[in-house]
């Protein structure tokens, strides 16, 4: 069953959030990444078998507006906490990929009582000079596609569903790609370190950090960096997955997340 689309007015109509909702069960807020995937996907269908999944578009993406009112990651974090309030969610599981993972982690640090369990999929938010996150804003579509997917030994793309992988790669050429990159760049450029390491100690939620072993955009070495900062967290690395691990290894990703959230 396809998700329903909610339009949530915030700040007396100054911001509008487009939110996809599907499934039944405890609430799960999923925040998409910077590029390569947004909206609904098969892995969210799988999660929706166990949870009521809310998948908002981050301001600046699709029909979610108000990007110009959000000046930094703190503003972006508070916006999503206010969105939970507007959706009537006193608390929920949080999951996010890259930019969405950065937001989810910050939400768990700013307001620990809002978060039951936390899933961070290749999150942004830290920086290492010896393993820099790739500057995807400077890449052309072909370079970016090469960076997002894990290569197989034969040099083709590894994916849990080849058709879906091809469709997602072609989406990089869509007209709204520039819009997406503009929104992401506001919070990730020139480097994604916005001081999260100073706030990570506030996270109380059990946390799963999940990464594609062949992620060439955000190197997997960051998984252990996040784990050291978030007390009691655990790391899972998915073989045969790059940056878009939830698309490339959809079933494995979903099962890891479901087992963790239901534990």
Structure pTM? 0.93
- 160 pLDDT band, cuts 50/70/90, is very low
Q: Which two tokens stand for residue 106?
A: 């910050």
Q: Which residue has the tokens 């706030």?
A: 199
- 152 pLDDT band, cuts 50/70/90, is low
Q: Which domains does the chain have, with CATH numbers?
A: 4-262 (3.40.50.1820)
pLDDT value of residue 151: 81
Rounded CA Rg of the chain: 17
What whole-number distance in Å separates Cα of residue 6 and Cα of residue 57?
11
Three-state DSSP state, 116? strand
Three-state DSSP state, 84? helix
Q: Is the pLDDT of residue 178 over 90?
A: no
Q: What is the pLDDT of residues 49-62, one digit of tens each?
A: 999 999 999 999 99
Q: Which residue has the tokens 């590894």?
A: 158
Phi, psi of 109 (to 5 degrees): -80, -40
Q: What is the pLDDT of residues 117-146, one digit of tens each?
A: 999 999 999 999 999 999 988 888 788 888
Q: Is the pLDDT of residue 174 over 80?
A: no
Q: What is the pLDDT of residues 10-37, one digit of tens each?
A: 999 999 999 999 999 999 999 999 988 8
Q: In what order do the strands lie in the sheet with 4-10?
A: 4-10, 15-22, 52-56, 27-31, 92-97, 115-121, 207-212, 234-238
What whole-number distance in Å separates Cα of residue 226 and Cα of residue 120?
9
């Amino acid at each position: 069953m396809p998700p329903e689309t909610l339009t949530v007015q915030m700040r007396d109509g100054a911001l509008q959030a487009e939110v996809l909702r599907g499934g039944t069960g405890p609430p799960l807020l999923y925040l998409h990444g910077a590029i390569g995937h947004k909206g609904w996907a098969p892995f969210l269908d799988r999660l929706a078998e166990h949870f009521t999944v809310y998948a908002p578009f981050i301001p600046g993406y699709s029909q979610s507006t108000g990007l110009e009112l959000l000046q930094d990651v703190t503003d972006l974090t508070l916006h999503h906490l206010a969105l939970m309030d507007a959706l009537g969610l006193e608390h929920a599981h949080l999951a996010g990929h890259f930019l969405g993972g950065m937001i989810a982690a910050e939400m768990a640090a700013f307001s620990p009582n809002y978060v039951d369990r936390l899933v961070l999929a290749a999150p942004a938010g830290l920086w290492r000079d010896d393993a820099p996150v790739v500057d995807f804003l400077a890449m052309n579509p072909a370079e970016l596609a090469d960076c997002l997917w894990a290569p197989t030994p034969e040099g083709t793309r590894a994916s849990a569903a080849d058709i879906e992988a091809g469709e997602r790669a072609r989406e990089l050429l869509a007209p709204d790609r520039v819009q997406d990159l503009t929104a992401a760049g506001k919070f990730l450029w020139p480097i994604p370190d916005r001081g999260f390491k100073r706030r990570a100690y506030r996270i109380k939620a059990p946390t799963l950090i999940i990464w594609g072993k062949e992620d060439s955009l955000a190197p997997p070495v960051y998984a252990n960096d996040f784990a050291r900062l978030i007390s009691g967290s655990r790391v899972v690395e998915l073989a045969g997955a790059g940056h878009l691990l939830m698309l490339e290894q959809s079933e494995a990703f979903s099962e890891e997340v479901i087992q963790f959230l239901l534990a």
